[in-house]
Amino acid sequence: MSLYLDHLATLQRQAETALERTGFDALLIASGIEKYAFLDDRPYLFQPNPHFKQWLPLTQHPHSWLAVRPGRKPRVVYYQPDDYWHVPPSAPSGEWVDAVELVVIREPEEAARALGDCVTPRTAIVGEADAALAGLIPNNPEPLLNLLHWARGVKTPYELAQMRAAQRLAVPGHNAARAAFLRGESEAGIHRAYLVATGHTDRDLPYGNIVGLNEHAAVLHYQYQDERAPAEPRSFLIDAGAQVNGYASDITRTWVAPGHDEFAALVAALDVEQLGLVDEVREGVDYRDIHLSAHRRIARVLRGAGLVAMSEEAMVAEGVTRPFFPHGIGHLLGLQVHDVGGFMAGETGGVADKPEGHRYLRLTRTLQAGMAVTIEPGLYFIPTLLRELRASRHAAQVDWTKVDRLSCYGGIRIEDDVVCRAVGEAPENLTRDAFAAIG
């Protein structure tokens, strides 16, 4: 079987099991609808229901539906309007077409009739409330969604193939962005270079690119792109991904201009520790332990650079690393950049708590073979957090002259996308493999 058909068979088995365990006869999934700005006729960028695009490589298809029933081919209700205001979806094509029962509709309301025989009092309907039609009202049963979200944490070979392709698409963009930085271009110019190299537009990126020069790298989710280049470009942080068939890559790199050796040494030291953290992505490891390991490793960087004169153990115990590394070490990745199910205690739900004092961690599960996660340690000079540290009882242990000198660089983040493999096997670093393949 092809990777895709095998993937479809896996989803069918998972759905049938979930339906049986939760007492439902069928599963209907809405792709979603276009949403419009308040008091306006301009639509926002369409974002498909991730449950829908897990089954089908259809990411720009509002008003479509999928029906899953035990022992039956999936039924796809494919919305293809006869539209002259916009380019309608093309005729259905691709490997998925022969694997499903296909119904083409011209008006959204026709979906209710096309799915009428699938609707009973025991039909699970997954989607946003605004996707509702007569007889098709999303109920999003939590017990069923828990089972599906838990299973989605482990990727099929087809899904991993899409994610590898998303890496190969993003890496030329990162290389082009670095070259634009070294040419002295502005944040906006660097962003445009990234788009050209990836073939993406702002409309189809998996998330808005973070492109920060100098002090802007200290803003974790910096949301602007200055058109004017700084008088002295010193450092550059880019957090940018790509998307293939609905699956995302999520990559961050930090670059340093020539002649800024002190900050370059800090970047190199964090890169070593980041690779050490990647190697900790092993089956059976609690991801929370990797997060805590990141703080120990960042403490080693801070001590080695002479920024903090405390033992590494004391820095972590007293929370001194947190002002320099205030976010989590990473998250699940896949159909969504921050994929669902990261806090689940088990397949039936519940919450696996975050470590005390680490509220921004996005993943608290034990790793399984086939999980794709990000590993993204950072070391930042964030004015708000540094003011708090300066006012704390540990302030005397910090070399504030050095901190002030390095603050003009903003900060560092290095992020790779990593696949956990079976016991005894090293993790697969999707990002480094893609960079190595391009050279």
pLDDT in tens, 337-365: 999 999 999 999 999 999 999 999 999 99
pLDDT of res. 246:
97
CB 189 within 8 Å of CB 177: no
pLDDT below 50 — which residues of the chain?
A: none
Residue among 127, 134, 126, 142 nearest 107 (CA): 134
181: phi then psi, degrees, rounded to nearest 5: -60, -45
With a CB cutoff of 8 Å and minimum separation 6, the contacts of 211 are 177, 187, 188, 190, 191, 194, 222, 225, 236, 237, 238, 240
Domain 3-151 CATH (choose: 3.40.605.10, 3.40.350.10, 3.40.50.11540, 3.50.50.60): 3.40.350.10
Dihedral of alpha carbons 199, 205, 211, 217, sign? negative
Residue among 305, 306, 308, 278 nearest 293 (CA): 278
CB 251 within 8 Å of CB 402: no
Alpha-carbon distance 394 to 402, whole Å?
16
Alpha-carbon distance 300 to 298, whole Å?
5
* Count of C-beta atoms within a 10 Å radius of residue 142: 12
The CA-to-CA distance between both ends of the chain, in Å, stands at: 33
Model-wide pTM > 0.75: yes
Where does CATH 3.40.350.10 sit in the chain?
3-151
Domain 157-438 CATH (choose: 3.10.20.30, 3.90.230.10, 2.60.40.420, 3.90.400.10): 3.90.230.10
Where does CATH 3.90.230.10 sit in the chain?
157-438
pLDDT of res. 328:
98
CA distances from 336 to 30, 52, 125, 222 (A): 17, 12, 20, 20
Alpha-carbon distance 319 to 327, whole Å?
13
Helices (H), 187-286: 187-198, 261-278
CA distances from 170 to 8, 95, 372 (A): 26, 25, 17
Residue among 10, 295, 359 nearest 152 (CA): 10
In this structure, the chain runs to a length of 439
**Token code pair at residue 230:** 């700084």
Residue among 152, 180, 100 nearest 372 (CA): 152
Task: Say whether 269 sits in a helix, a strand or coil.
Answer: helix
φ/ψ bin of 379: left (φ > 0), alpha (ψ from -120 to 50), beta (otherwise): beta
